[in-house]
A and B are shown apart, each in its own frame.
Chain A
Amino acid sequence: MSEAEAPVPSSARPLFPAAEAAVDPDRALVDRARAGDAGAFEMLVRRYQGWVFTLALRMWGDRGEAEDMAQEIFLKAYRGLKRFKGASRFSTWLYAIASHHCVNQLEARRRRPRPHGQAGDRRDHAKHDPPAAVDRLAHQAPHADALLERMDPARIVQAELANLTAEHRIILVLRDIQGLAYEEIAQTLRLELGTVRSRLHRARMEMRVRLTPHL
């Protein structure tokens, strides 16, 4: 993710028009939670825990880590509630927090040295050389697939998803699993619409290359 596209807290500027925020179904709970009502925030957690957990799970691939990540996301949101001015929907604000948190944590993990042979090496190459990545990964895919032959399809897809760069993975998850519209993705990740389109296309083509041997 380039510097210009780097995610920033959604509270920095309104993501959605005020008219959309006016019909925010979470408004009452948010107000109560902001006033210190932990019960109200728990209601919000129940409402969005599936969405946040799914995002974390697809980004990380491990249920335990995903649950920890989801907890951190909700804690972060709770602590940031005072800065939430209601200029956008709470859900959009929460999606932005969740997306940025996941991407930042993945980037942080990528920067940390890891034991030799772990998944992620190819992902690193792809990040630094995106145009050639798809072709190169098409040849590398069978090596990884050999290890995944005995796995069920969902695990294969999840494993290949984990080989995408964080910026490709998040956009694929937001669109093809979470079902957000292009505009919502653009606002959540604070990207231009054209950037969303092109990046989503590259992510999908890379996944097509990776998954074709299994189809």
Chain B
Amino acid sequence: MRCDEARRVFSELYDEALSGAPLVTVTQHLASCPACRAEWANFRKAMQAVADLGTAEPSPGFAARVRRRLEAPSRWRRVLRWLFLPLHVKLPIQAAAVLLLAFAGLLLYQRSPELRRAIEPSQIPSPSVAHEAPASAPPPAGGEPARKEEGPAPQAETPKATQAEPAAPPMAAVPPPTQGALEAGRERGAPSPPTGISELWKTTLPSESPRGEGSSQDSRVKSAEPGTAPGPLQQYAPAPAPSGGAGAPAQPSAKSLAVPPLAPMPSAAPAPTKEAQTSAPQAKPADVLYGTGLTELADGKFDRAVDSFRAFLARYPQDARVPDARLRLGEAYFGQGRYAEALQEYEAVAQQFPSGPQVPAALYGQAQARLALGDRSGCQLLREVADLYPQAPEAASARQDLAARCR
């Protein structure tokens, strides 16, 4: 047997696991080989040293400590206990908290049109669709031919006929697309408007695109069959209203209001902004000017918006968007804090276009302006908006304002 072969079985030899011939062979080799004998002696000593380490006992109380850990509740169980025990105390509190949160969420949802729009984005008409809408006015419900948007109106055209034309988009129940632009303008750092104007914007802005014709108007055009379509205010009135501009419901607010003179227009209207020109290269000057005013209003640049709308009204007095432009002018004044001028514009809209779809917004604007001026008659106007135009978007705001400001 060679030395390496002998050393390979040291482990088994140490464990007395060798027997027979292998045991005899390795024993003979160890007897005859001093090196392997010394190696074997060292091996045995080393193994004896390892064995001498012996066993050990843990510190006293080890088993009791293990038992305590066994019986201690786990972390998640402790959390559950902390959350729910005692049940008869914590469950009612938690249920009440959940109900309170749900109620608060519902209240917030109902009172915040922005939130509502964020949750239901599909109800918002796409601005791109609005941009694609034709700029020409739709045929009137009463069968009158559509007139051109710009240029001098025929001399024979009476104010009544103009009012009968559904030139401006109606106060649709669908939130107007410019709302988003207004909010975006505020987010971009535009100065926050005075108290009341933001609420007014939420409800009074008709659905219009910066180019003047909104998608809601489009939809109205599609549904407006000459002679059969209802008047633009019918959708808001509680009772069926006669079709056609001549048979439009009487405006209760207008009867007590003096006709305000249109504010003097600047002789030289500001040119459309470069931005507006680049964004609508194909647009007509009236469209550009009107769209510029809308953009400025949305951005909170009320001074410039006032200039733009006044210029629009001076240059295109026969444009179909005159009622809307005056409404916007009123809003821009309101944003400036010039409530008296705002009131004049709102009153003019309600008086000069009593059958127009802008009437609920104009009445609501009047109410806001009067209240801002400290005039409590605004409350009466709010009631009229709520009672006469229950389907108009302004009606809900009017009811909220009544509850909040007119008690």
Query: Which A residues fall within an 8 A CB radius of B?
Result: 38-39, 41-42, 45-46, 49-51, 53-54, 57-58, 63, 66-67, 70-71, 74-75, 78, 153-154, 157-158, 161, 172, 175-178, 182, 197, 200-201, 204-205, 207-208, 210-212, 214-215
Contact = CB atoms under 8 A, between A and B. Distances in A.
- Interface SS of B by simple majority: helix
A177 B49 CA distance: 10
Contacts of A53: 56-58, 62
Contacts of B67: 38-39, 41-42, 45
B39 to A, nearest CB: 8
A153 B65 contact: no
Contacts of B59: 63, 67
13 contacts: A38-B71, A42-B63, A49-B62, A49-B63, A71-B66, A71-B69, A154-B52, A178-B55, A197-B12, A201-B10, A201-B11, A204-B43, A205-B7
B65 A71 contact: yes
Contact of B55 (A54, A70, A161): A54
A204 B14 contact: yes
B53 A204 contact: no
A63 B67 CA distance: 20
B90 to A, nearest CB: 27
B42 A212 contact: yes
A177 B55 contact: yes
Interface string B1-25: 0000001101110110100000000
B264 interface: no
Nearest to B67: A42
Nearest to A172: B50
Given A176-B47, A201-B8, A204-B47, A157 B53 contact: yes
A204 B46 CA distance: 8
B86 interface: no
Given A204-B47, A208-B42, 10 more contacts: A38-B67, A45-B62, A53-B56, A57-B56, A176-B51, A177-B54, A178-B55, A201-B11, A207-B50, A211-B49
Contacts of B58: 49-50, 53, 66-67, 70
B47 A207 contact: yes
Contacts of A211: 45-46, 49-50
B47 A177 contact: no
Nearest to B55: A54
A112 B64 CA distance: 32
B46 A212 contact: yes
A46 B64 CA distance: 9
B119 interface: no
Interface in B204-243: none
Contacts of B10: 201, 204-205
A41 B65 CA distance: 12
B69 A197 contact: no
Nearest to A74: B66
Contact of A154 (B53, B63, B69): B53
B363 to A, nearest CB: 74
A75 B66 contact: yes
Contacts of A71: 62, 65-66, 69
A63 B65 CA distance: 16
Select the residue from B12, B39, B47, B59 with max chain A CB neighbours within 10 A.
B47
A26 B11 CA distance: 33
Given A50-B57, A177-B53, A204 B11 contact: yes
Contacts of A42: 63-64, 66-67
Contacts of A46: 63
Contacts of A154: 52-53
B268 interface: no
B52 A157 contact: yes
B70 interface: yes
A58 B55 CA distance: 9
Contacts of A172: 50
A42 B56 CA distance: 19
A215 to B, nearest CB: 5
Contacts of B53: 58, 154, 157-158, 161, 177
B71 A208 contact: no
Nearest to A75: B69
A38 B70 contact: yes
Nearest to A41: B70
B62 A51 contact: no
Interface in B285-337: none
Given A200-B11, A212-B46, A177 B66 contact: no
Contacts of B39: 208
B62 A67 contact: yes
A94 B45 CA distance: 31
A45 B63 contact: yes
A201 B50 CA distance: 14
What are the nearest 5 A-B pairs in CB distance?
A: A201-B11, A211-B46, A45-B63, A208-B46, A53-B58
Contacts of A38: 67, 70-71
Contacts of B15: 175, 182
Given A42-B63, A208-B42, A50 B56 contact: yes
B55 A75 contact: no
Contacts of B45: 211, 215
Contacts of B66: 42, 45, 49, 71, 74-75
Interface in B48-100: 49-59, 62-67, 69-71
